[in-house]
Amino acid sequence: GAVVSQHPSRVICKSGTSVKIECRSLDFQATTMFWYRQFPKQSLMLMATSNEGSKATYEQGVEKDKFLINHASLTLSTLTVTSAHPEDSSFYICSASDGGSGNTIYFGEGSWLTVV
Amino acid sequence: SQQGEEDPQALSIQEGENATMNCSYKTSINNLQWYRQNSGRGLVHLILIRSNEREKHSGRLRVTLDTSKKSSSLLITASRAADTASYFCATDDTGFQKLVFGTGTRLLVSP
- Residue pLDDT, tens place only, B20-45: 999 999 988 989 999 999 988 889 99
Q: Is B69 helix (H, G, I), strand (E, B) or coil?
A: coil
pLDDT given at position A1 = 62
Tens digits of pLDDT across chain A (116 residues): 668 999 999 999 999 999 999 999 998 888 889 999 999 889 999 999 988 888 899 999 999 999 999 988 889 999 999 999 999 999 999 999 876 555 568 899 999 999 99
* A58 Cβ under 8 Å from any chain B Cβ: no
B42–A109: do the CB atoms touch at under 8 Å?
yes
B100–A109: do the CB atoms touch at under 8 Å?
no
Average of per-residue pLDDT across B78-90: 97
- With a CB cutoff of 8 Å and minimum separation 6, the contacts of A25 are A2, A3, A4, A5, A33, A74, A75, A76, A96, A98, A106
Of B95, B98, B106, nearest to A34 by CB-CB distance is B98
Average pLDDT over chain B, rounded to an integer: 93
**Separation in Å, CA of A80 to nearest CA in chain B:** 20
Q: Please, what is the Cα angle at A48 between A45 and A54, to 5 degrees?
A: 170
Q: Is B81 helix (H, G, I), strand (E, B) or coil?
A: helix
B42–A103: do the CB atoms touch at under 8 Å?
no
For residue B79, what pLDDT band results from cuts at 50, 70 and 90? Answer: very high
Question: For chain A, what is the radius of gyration of the CA atoms?
Answer: 13
Q: Are B73 and B24 in contact (CB under 8 A)?
A: no
